[in-house]
């Protein structure tokens, strides 16, 4: 055992730079041409293929796979981008095991679906690496649209609007565009600064002005935007973090998982990122898994995900769970934290065993403690600071199928609005569909 991994407390450089590079390398290596053709050959070109319906952006999957098979990944990429301009990112981060690949008939036949995600990456990489942006804007419409938030929803909306000839102004509070693609997604899913590369590639369409470090509610205000632009699209994601309502949760060493991940994603040198020897992650979603896996990859000795319900209720897919356990993360189910102990820093977490009867979660009274140096809270994000006149239900902005809110000329989509699944791909679909609707409305009404 390396001295690094058993150094007590929270410590940096538990692993060498080389080990860290290895650990944070591409989760799935890209296909080479032969691998892609072999994988493409497995597609049956199904009638009314179930995978298409299972893709939130309804990419014509059998068509793009056939285009790869016949030696034209460029056409395949076009098929993908027509539906999903962030097809490159989605190919890397979509939980395909619960989307297209789950619907693949070969999954039913032999539990080995066609590797749609990796094929999608093969095609999109080919085009993006060539630097070509395969779209030309329509004639200028002289319409101006404001997009608030440069995550997947905002970017997809902006691109589609620009394509139609509109002028788009994206306002983003952070120093970089990309939203959670840039600050949230696990590092090993989007290596080599792919998120930023993708944004640059997408912006080549032209007609999109991006202002970073520009926060709605501080630097600009919705009322003004509605006055100054023909339409506004809100794609502000979920900026808030759910609080853990237990004693001691704010002690040193207890942090929000999303903040830990954002820091990890932005740091240049991973040996500079400190991590605990004993880490506990509280939660059961993708964020919990990503925080736990990356803690482990940084060299933490013991990492435990503690989830208050049973395995089946966990929102991270079985594939994600297995990824965690394969990296040495321990999964605990039916345990809920009741208190965090320690003098000024966290030292232990006390958990209670839980039972779920009739969907009602209740404690059993039996408790135990885990020694910790670091606690990551990953019990969900929430909508942060929406202007009061925008209608919200259950913590999400009310929208129609095409993203219209209760406020005239205001659309919303992505994680901040109802109807998605809190996934990159559903955010893209929402942005794209809202853009189509905005276009339809603006071109009919002719309002300016």
Partner 1 sequence: MADLTTEFLGITSPNPFWLASAPPTDKEYNVRRAFEAGWGGVVWKTLGADGPPVVNVNGPRYGAIHGADRRLLGLNNIELITDRPLQTNLEEIARVKSDYPDRAVVVSLMVPCEEGAWKDILPRVAETGADGIELNFGCPHGMSERGMGSAVGQVPDYIEMVTRWCKTHYDRPVIVKLTPNITDIRYPARAARNGGADAVSLINTISSITSVNLDTFSPEPSIDGKGSHGGYCGPAVKPIAMNMVAEIARDPETLGLPISGIGGITTWRDAAEFMSLGCGTVQVCTAAMTYGFKIIDELTTGLNRWMDDKEFKETSDFVGRAVGNVTDWQYLNLNYIAKARIDQEKCIQCGRCYAVCEDTSHQAISISQDRKFEVIDEECVACNLCVEVCPVERCITMAPLPIGAIDRRTGTKVSDRYLNWTMHENNPLTKVAE
Ligand X SMILES: Cc1cc2nc3c(=O)[nH]c(=O)nc-3n(C[C@H](O)[C@H](O)[C@H](O)COP(=O)(O)OP(=O)(O)OC[C@H]3O[C@@H](n4cnc5c(N)ncnc54)[C@H](O)[C@@H]3O)c2cc1C
CB 37 within 8 A of CB 63: no
Contact flag: residue 256 with ligand X (CB under 6 A) = no
| Closest distance to partner 1 from the beta carbon of 91 (Å) | 22
* Piece of the chain touching ligand X by CB under 6 A; list 13-21, 33-41, 127-135, 143-151: 143-151
Among 172, 301, 433, 437, binds ligand X (CB under 6 A): 172
Minimum separation from the CB atom of position 156 to ligand X (A): 8
Three-state DSSP state, 323 = helix
CB of 320 closer than 8 Å to CB of 404:
no
Task: Choose between 68 and 258: whose C-beta lies nearer to ligand X.
Answer: 258
In the three-class reduction of DSSP (H, G, I as helix; E, B as strand; rest coil), residue 237 is classed as coil
Nearer to ligand X, 116 or 180 (CB): 180
Q: Which does 447 bind (CB under 5 to 8 A by kind): partner 1, ligand X, none?
A: none
| Of positions 143, 160, 174, 377, contacts ligand X by CB under 6 A | 174
Smallest distance, Å, CB 124 to partner 1? 23
Tokens standing for residue 416:
């901040």
Q: Is the C-alpha dihedral spanning 262, 263, 267, 270 positive or negative? A: negative
Rounded to a whole number of angstroms, the minimum distance from the CB of residue 433 to partner 1 is 25
Q: Does 145 bind ligand X (CB under 6 A)?
A: no
Nearer Cβ to partner 1, position 37 or 214? Answer: 37
Could you say whether residue 79 binds ligand X (CB under 6 A)? Answer: no
CA–CA distance, 327 with 283 (Å, rounded to integer): 18
Closest CB to ligand X among 43 and 171? 171
**101 touches ligand X by CB under 6 A:** no
- Our CB check for partner 1 shows the closer of 44 and 221 to be 44
- Binding mask 360-399 toward ligand X (x if CB under 6 A, else -) reads ----------------------------------------
| Alpha carbon distance 50, 333 (integer Å) | 33
Q: Provide the minimum distance between the beta carbon of 175 and ligand X in the complex, in angstroms, as a whole number.
A: 10
Report if residue 290 touches ligand X, rule: CB under 6 A.
yes
Q: Which does 424 bind (CB under 5 to 8 A by kind): partner 1, ligand X, none?
A: ligand X
Q: Which does 34 bind (CB under 5 to 8 A by kind): ligand X, partner 1, none?
A: partner 1
Minimum Å distance from CB 429 to partner 1?
A: 23
**Rounded least distance, CB 41 to partner 1, Å:** 4
Of the pair 15, 49, the CB lying nearest partner 1 is at 49
Which of 13, 103, 423, 442 is in the footprint of ligand X by CB under 6 A? Answer: 423
**Nearest to residue 402, comparing CAs of 438, 352, 365?**
438
151 binds ligand X (CB under 6 A): yes
| Cβ-based nearer residue to ligand X, 101 or 422 | 422
- Residue 287 interacting with ligand X (CB under 6 A): yes
Q: Which ranges of 283-403 does DSSP label H, i.e. alpha helix?
A: 286-297, 318-326
Task: Give the relative orientation of helices 116-129 and 61-69 as an angle to the nearest 10 degrees.
Answer: 60
Q: Which stretch binds ligand X (CB under 6 A): 31-39, 161-169, 282-290, 393-401?
A: 282-290
Binding residues for partner 1 (CB under 8 A)? 34, 38, 41-42, 44-50, 105-106, 108-109
Least distance from C-beta 268 to ligand X, angstroms? 20
């Amino acid at each position: 055992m390396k001295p690094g991994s058993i150094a007590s407390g929270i410590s940096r450089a538990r692993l060498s730079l080389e080990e860290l590079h290895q650990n944070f390398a591409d989760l799935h290596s890209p296909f080479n041409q032969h691998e892609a053709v072999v994988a493409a050959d497995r597609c049956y070109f199904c009638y009314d293929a179930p995978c298409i319906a299972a893709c939130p952006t309804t990419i014509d999957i059998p068509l793009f796979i056939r285009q790869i098979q016949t030696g034209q990944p460029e056409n395949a990429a076009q098929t993908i981008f027509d539906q999903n301009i962030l097809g490159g990112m989605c190919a890397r981060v979509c939980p395909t095991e619960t989307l297209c690949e789950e619907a693949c008939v070969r999954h039913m036949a032999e539990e080995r679906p066609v590797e749609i995600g990796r094929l999608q990456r093969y095609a999109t990489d080919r085009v993006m690496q060539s630097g070509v942006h395969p779209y030309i804007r329509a004639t200028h419409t002289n319409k101006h649209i404001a997009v608030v938030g440069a995550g997947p929803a905002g970017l997809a909306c902006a691109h589609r609007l620009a394509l139609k000839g509109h002028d788009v102004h994206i306002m983003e509070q952070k120093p970089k565009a990309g939203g959670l693609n840039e600050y949230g997604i696990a590092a090993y899913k989007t290596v080599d600064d792919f998120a930023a590369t993708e944004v640059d590639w997408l912006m080549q369409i032209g007609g999109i002005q991006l202002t970073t470090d520009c926060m709605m509610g501080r630097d600009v205000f919705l009322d003004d935007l509605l006055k100054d632009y023909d339409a506004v699209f809100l794609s502000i994601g979920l900026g808030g973090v759910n609080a853990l309502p237990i004693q001691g949760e704010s002690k040193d060493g207890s942090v929000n998982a999303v903040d830990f991940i954002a820091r990890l994603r932005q740091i240049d040198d991973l040996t500079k990122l400190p991590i605990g020897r004993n880490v506990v992650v509280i939660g059961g979603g993708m964020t919990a898994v990503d925080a736990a896996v990356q803690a482990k990859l940084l060299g933490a000795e013991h990492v435990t995900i503690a989830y208050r319900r049973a395995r089946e209720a966990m929102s991270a897919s079985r594939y994600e769970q297995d990824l965690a356990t394969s990296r040495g993360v321990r999964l605990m189910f039916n345990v809920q934290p009741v208190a965090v102990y320690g003098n000024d820093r966290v030292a232990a977490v006390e958990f209670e065993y839980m039972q779920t009867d009739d969907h009602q979660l209740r404690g059993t009274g039996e408790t135990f403690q885990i020694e910790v140096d670091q606690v990551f809270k990953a019990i969900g994000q929430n909508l942060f600071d929406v202007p009061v006149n925008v209608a919200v239900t259950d913590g999400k902005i009310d929208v129609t199928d095409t993203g219209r809110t209760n406020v005239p000329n205001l659309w919303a989509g992505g994680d901040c609005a109802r109807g998605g699944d809190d996934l990159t791909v559903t955010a893209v679909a929402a942005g794209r569909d809202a853009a189509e609707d905005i276009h339809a409305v603006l071109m009919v009404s002719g309002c300016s």
